[in-house]
Amino acid sequence: MNLYERIPNNVNLSEDRKLQRALEKWLPNYLDWWQEMGPDGFQQKDVYLRTAISVEPDGWANFDFVKMPDYRWGIFLKPAEADAKIGFGDNYGQPAYQEVPGEFRNSLRRIIVTQGDTEPASVEQQRQLGKTCPSLYDLRNLFQVNVEEGRHLWAMVYLLQRYFGRDGRDEADALLERRSGNPDKPRILEAFNQPCDDWLNFFCFTMFTDRDGKYQLSALAESGFEPLARTCQFMLTEEAHHMFVGDTGLNRVVKRTAQLMKKGDVRELGAIPLDIIQKHINFWFSYSLDLFGGEISSNSADFFAAGLKGRYKEQEQYQEHILAEQNFTMKVVAEGQLKDREVPLRNALNEVLRGEYVRDCEKGLARWNKTLADEGIGEQLFLPSTRFHRHLGEYAGHHFDIEGNLITAEVFERRKAEWLPTMEDREYVRSLMHPVVEPGKIANWIAPPATGIKGKPFEFEYVRL
Ligand SMILES: [Fe+2]
Ligand SMILES: [Fe+2]
């Protein structure tokens, strides 16, 4: 097997024998994992996919028909800048790390493994969705997301194998051994163990959970560990499409619902009522908020001090990059009440990043609400309070209503069916999920997209079945 021809890369793979050997061992296991846990079915079908074959503007998005197992999962880092510097923290202005500094080895490995684990996890969560696709266009988008999450796993595995020696190789193997939702060997983060087995969940996942990925990758794209920064910078170009799938997917669901609301009972007409869409937003938004970590975090302070993980657009939107003196005020629960608490800013950086994320999500909500308004519907969708339904951080272990008011466990139990998808809601959504695979046709519960992929019309045969 000629690895460096099989694996497009800009990391000089052909000259790095040690890395080649590590990848030679890992690649067949990866392909086994893809067959076992990647999309169920469709593996021998031609799919109109985008493949990155270089990092140049004309090379990172090559469109052609490919069978998924033949997808060329490459290793790409944004090209290095001459004399890069650490952009924040205690070592601000020092030369960037080109190798892993011994004292930060464990922290960096943990950051990379945690990010890396989410990539195959999402492929596992989505593996049954092809069978109920609402159109060939959507089927192709699902598979595009899946193969790119596979490539993101490669990106993290490259870092582990290249920079972390034997430990890194063990971690790379373990990334193929954990399984989403498996109680014995679950994925690391909870949102990645939740089932994602219908298309409403899929669009919510790509809208809200992939968007967490955007913010994590953006914070790591600032890293003083240069190989990590450059890897994440390139991953972000792909991540944008995943969020597009979620954002526009939900918009199309909302549009169809609005159209049918004007004709009669949405359920009788076979679409998804707005209250069920709202409950799914509440569910995935709250789980995705947990991914940012605790509101008050010594890890966030340590990672920032060490120059490993910065803020969103650290260089672009801030002048001050040390943050040794500032404080941040947030609401916490104390003596049974919500109270303001001031903490050192470095300890609040998870919350700062979460705030950026929430503002970004709000833009999606504004787009969907505009769709509702354009269709003449007065109702609006919204984001729940960031305190609602949290399993991690300051608000975990307490109960809040959808507006963020502290309530008792009894009240939460009594009212949670108003806020979160019930078993019946999920079953109803599932009852709508039947495959539509004729070119140009679409399921009844979703509107067609405004445009197709890469200038092709919606009617294009994106997957040859
Ligand atoms: Fe990803
Ligand atoms: Fe993604």
As given in the structure block, the two tokens for residue 175 are 């990334």
290: number of CA atoms within 13 Å, CB side? 19
In the chain, the N- to C-terminal Cα span, in Å, equals 30
**CA angle at 46 for the pair 42 and 48, rounded to the nearest 5°:** 115
Centroid of ligand 2 to alpha carbon of 330 (angstroms):
30
Helix or strand (DSSP H, E) at 372: helix 349-374
Under 8 Å CB-to-CB from 141, ≥6 apart: which residues?
245, 249, 453
Please count the other Cβ atoms lying within 10 Å of the Cβ belonging to residue 360. Answer: 14
Q: Calculate the alpha carbon distances from 460 to 21, 39, 57, 183, 286 in Å.
A: 42, 22, 25, 41, 37
Q: Give the integer Cα–Cα distance in Å for 47 and 138.
A: 11
Q: Calculate the alpha carbon distances from 155 to 177, 445, 448 in Å.
A: 17, 36, 33
Name residues with Cβ closer than 5 Å to ligand 1, which is an ion.
119, 149, 152
Centroid of ligand 2 to alpha carbon of 125 (angstroms):
13
Q: Give the integer Cα–Cα distance in Å for 256 and 420.
A: 22
Q: What are the phi and psi torsion angles at 126 (to 5°)?
A: -100, 10
Q: Which of the ligands is closest to the CA of residue 149?
A: 1
Helix or strand (DSSP H, E) at 91: none
Centroid of ligand 2 to alpha carbon of 32 (angstroms):
21
The pLDDT assigned to 54 comes to 80
The pLDDT assigned to 273 comes to 98
Please count the other Cβ atoms lying within 10 Å of the Cβ belonging to residue 41. Answer: 11
The pLDDT assigned to 132 comes to 98
CA proximity to 212, closest of 187, 189, 181, 230: 189
Percent of the chain at pLDDT > 70 equals 99
CA proximity to 31, closest of 70, 81, 4: 70
pLDDT 10s per residue in the chain (465 long)? 566 677 888 998 889 999 989 998 999 999 999 999 999 999 999 999 999 888 887 777 889 999 999 999 989 999 998 899 999 999 999 999 999 999 999 999 999 999 999 999 999 999 999 999 999 999 999 999 999 999 999 999 999 999 999 999 999 999 999 999 999 999 999 989 998 999 999 999 999 999 999 999 999 999 999 999 999 999 998 899 999 999 999 999 999 999 999 999 999 999 999 999 999 999 999 999 999 999 999 999 999 999 999 999 999 999 999 999 999 999 999 999 999 999 999 999 999 999 999 999 999 999 999 999 999 999 999 999 999 999 999 999 999 999 999 999 999 999 999 999 999 999 999 999 999 999 999 999 999 999 999 999 999 999 999
The pLDDT assigned to 123 comes to 98
The pLDDT assigned to 426 comes to 97
Centroid of ligand 2 to alpha carbon of 140 (angstroms):
15
Centroid of ligand 1 to alpha carbon of 456 (angstroms):
25
Contact call for residues 270 and 187 (beta carbons, < 8 A): no
In three-state secondary structure terms, 108 is helix
Centroid of ligand 1 to alpha carbon of 378 (angstroms):
36
Whole-prediction pTM: 0.97
Q: Give the integer Cα–Cα distance in Å for 398 and 373.
A: 36
Centroid of ligand 2 to alpha carbon of 363 (angstroms):
19
Q: Give the integer Cα–Cα distance in Å for 4 and 62.
A: 19
432: number of CA atoms within 13 Å, CB side? 25
Q: Give the integer Cα–Cα distance in Å for 279 and 379.
A: 14
Centroid of ligand 2 to alpha carbon of 413 (angstroms):
33
